[in-house]
Amino acid sequence: MIKITLPDQSVREYEAGVSGYDIAQSISPRLAKEVLSITVNDQLWDLTRTIETDASIKLHKWEDEEGKHAFWHSSAHLLAEALQELYPGIKFGIGPAIENGFYYDVDPGDGVSITEGDLPKIEKKMQELARQKNEYKRRDIAKEDALKFFSHDPYKVELISDLEDGTISVYEQGQFTDLCRGPHLPSTEPIKAVKVLSLAGAYWRGDEKRKQLTRIYGITFPKQKMLEEYLVQLEEALKRDHRKIGKELDLFTFSAKVGQGLPLWMPKGAKLRERLESFLKKVQVKYGYEPVITPHIGQKELYVTSGHYAKYGADSFQPIHTPAEGEEFLLKPMNCPHHCEIYKARPHSYRDLPIRYAEFGTVYRYEQSGELHGLTRVRGFTQDDAHIFCRPDQLKNEFKKVIDIIFYIFNALDFKDYIAQISLRDPNNTEKYIGSDENWEKAESAIIEACSEKGLNTVVETGEAAFYGPKLDFMVRDAIGRKWQLGTIQVDYNLPERFELEYIGQDNAAHRPIMIHRAPFGSMERFVAVLIEHTAGKFPLWLTPEQAVILPISEKYNEYAQNVSKLLNNSDIRCILDDRNEKIGKKIRDNELKRIPYLLIVGEKEAEDGTISVRRQGEGDQGTMKIDEFAHFINKEVENMLKEIDA
């Protein structure tokens, strides 16, 4: 008999060789119908895999991320089986589960192409195969046998060759066999609803010098209704796409001559960014941050010292060589090494700490062209970066203050649904990280304790830490339920060690400060993209680049409209004038599409009375007001919004 510990710490005894499905069945037949995968001693397993020794387990249903992962990973194999039947001789790269669904990278073969028009037949074949209820069977084979079995597929051979010698797991379902770690569903039976979504190009193993494969995206659900709801959400997401809305609102653009992944901010977009920066700077002053400015480049040796070059050198823009022999610079990939040098520029006493440096610093990282996506994945971006240098006794309190700043920002921009993710290092893969075990344990404990004291709803993700320290990431759900990572706080004992940072303690001896990295927005580019999609371009009145637009009914009233514009701008109302020679109905429609909160219509009566007719975006006519009355109304609305944020 073996002892199985459940999540509530209750213990049940079973015969050795029991499976996750057997355990679920013993608890409840209904649970057995709903469960999709199992975690055994912190490792994800198939439900059908047998447990031979005492273990702690957790059963996963559709509602759990682990359940969805098994469901979508299994669906990727189902997609591959469908492709194998439809395109004999096709070769397979990788096919992982992703946040929403799955994809498979494939090589259809010379002279063969898969097009958008082929997606319905692929989808139909997947549905047909799912109804066969074929089991997903795991088999462990020797590496040399795996190389023989997959010898017809150069992509699988390359993947197998990179693995350590020993046994390798493969999975079979129906007529398809794939190299895979799992876990998978017991069979294809739970896959009831299928949608093959789109195609894209993807270089093999992300290398632009290698062959471009066809990436096929799909999604599946256990119920047709779930798929229908998802497709509605997907349609709404397309309407909210920040690239589309950004173009409509004239916020940013890209230029092939400037380069891929390097956004150009238009005047309206620049004003939006400036207001966000101004908002955060005011908060930072309140919390005792000091502004600093650092250059866009640094000597390569700076990033060698910090460890960034060893970790990210291949993903950075390559060294810039100057006329001086042996002198190499890099475009700045991180702000933190520069801030370490600012700290080191003068001596510090324990009384000086904490020291908080803040910078809106632009950094550069080489992202492959296939990975670039609007503002969410770029090659040059501005971080709302700050670094706190503190004593050990100050660490937890400083960390909690940063959490307060992030809460303040989320409240201001109506991000109400979020989870705090504690990202720890992987204890089984410590070579990925720098620094001593002792310092890692201290840093991880500080984050866990701070989160507990703040009463945060947290999840723990092992293996997601930065290479120099653990972190707290805020995972935010937007207005239509999509999850984004916004805001990060990291505890770092290692960079102060590498840069030999010191302060003189109360004992007159030298001590190392602890460093906290924090970026509440993450990057301005990504944050603006998420904000656009969250609000559908309808920004809060205090933030929007244009609060009102003045619409004269005809050219006869342009002069009066110009006077209104001057008076409102003098009252700190951000307004523009639309004096095009167009009918008023068209002007109203056009400016509604620009998401400007207030439309101010002026004609003969308004010019005579010194008034404006007010329309609110999405709400229609709000009546007539005097100009100064409207200015007071807008300023009061903004004031009340900001008071509510402060509360």
Exposed / middle / buried, residue 584 (Cβ in 10 Å: 0-12, 13-18, 19+): middle
575 catalytic, yes or no?
no
Is residue 632 marked as binding? no
Contacts of 490 (CB under 8 A, 6+ apart): 466, 468, 469, 470, 471, 472, 516, 517, 518
CA distance 80 to 550: 57
632 catalytic, yes or no?
no
What is the largest distance, in Å, between two alpha-carbon atoms of the chain?
93
Q: Which of 46, 385, 473, 492 does the annotation list as catalytic? A: 385
Task: Output the six-digit token pair for 523.
Answer: 């990057």
Q: Which of 471, 511, 518, 615 does the annotation list as catalytic? A: 471
Q: Which of 84, 173, 383, 394 does the annotation list as catalytic? A: 383
Asked if 504 contacts 470 with a C-beta cutoff of 8 angstroms, the reply is no
Question: 19, 25, 22, 23: which is closest to 10 by C-alpha?
Answer: 23
User: CA separation (Å) from 154 to 92, 148, 335, 354?
Assistant: 9, 11, 41, 56
Task: Output the six-digit token pair for 483.
Answer: 């999850």
CA distance 404 to 489: 12
Which residues are paired to 57 by β-bridges?
A: 40
Give, for 299, the enclosing helix (H) or strand (E): strand 297-299
Which residues are paired to 488 by β-bridges?
A: 473, 519
Asked if 305 contacts 337 with a C-beta cutoff of 8 angstroms, the reply is yes
DSSP 164: P
Q: Rg for the chain (alpha carbons), in Å?
A: 29
Question: 596, 605, 528, 595: which is closest to 568 by C-alpha?
Answer: 596
Residue with tokens 């805020």: 474
Query: Any idea what the Cα angle at residue 565 is, between residues 564 and 570, rounded to 5°?
Result: 100
195 catalytic, yes or no?
no
Q: Which of 91, 178, 308, 336 does the annotation list as catalytic? A: 336
CA distance 307 to 492: 13
365 catalytic, yes or no?
yes
Q: Which of 240, 365, 391, 425 does the annotation list as catalytic? A: 365
Residue with tokens 């494969």: 213
Q: How many helices (H) and strands (E) does the chain have?
A: 20, 35
336 catalytic, yes or no?
yes
User: CA separation (Å) from 526 to 26, 350, 417, 459?
Assistant: 47, 37, 18, 23
Is residue 69 marked as binding? no
Give, for 355, the enclosing helix (H) or strand (E): strand 355-364
178 catalytic, yes or no?
no
Asked if 174 contacts 131 with a C-beta cutoff of 8 angstroms, the reply is no
> Could you count the other beta carbons within 10 Å of the beta carbon of residue 131?
12
Residue with tokens 């046994």: 167
Q: How far is CA 525 from the centre of its chain?
A: 12
Give, for 385, the enclosing helix (H) or strand (E): strand 380-390
Question: 81, 378, 370: which is closest to 218 by C-alpha?
Answer: 81
CA distance 285 to 289: 5
Exposed / middle / buried, residue 264 (Cβ in 10 Å: 0-12, 13-18, 19+): exposed
CA distance 106 to 81: 12
Q: How far is CA 263 from the centre of its chain?
A: 18
Residue with tokens 């101004």: 278
Q: Which of 184, 300, 387, 587 does the annotation list as catalytic? A: 387
517 catalytic, yes or no?
yes
Is residue 387 marked as binding? yes
DSSP 391: -
Three-state DSSP class for 414? coil
Q: Which of 215, 356, 391, 517 does the annotation list as catalytic? A: 517
The annotation places the binding site for Zn(2+) at 336, 387, 517
The annotation places the binding site at 336, 387, 517
Active site residues: 336, 365, 383, 385, 387, 471, 517
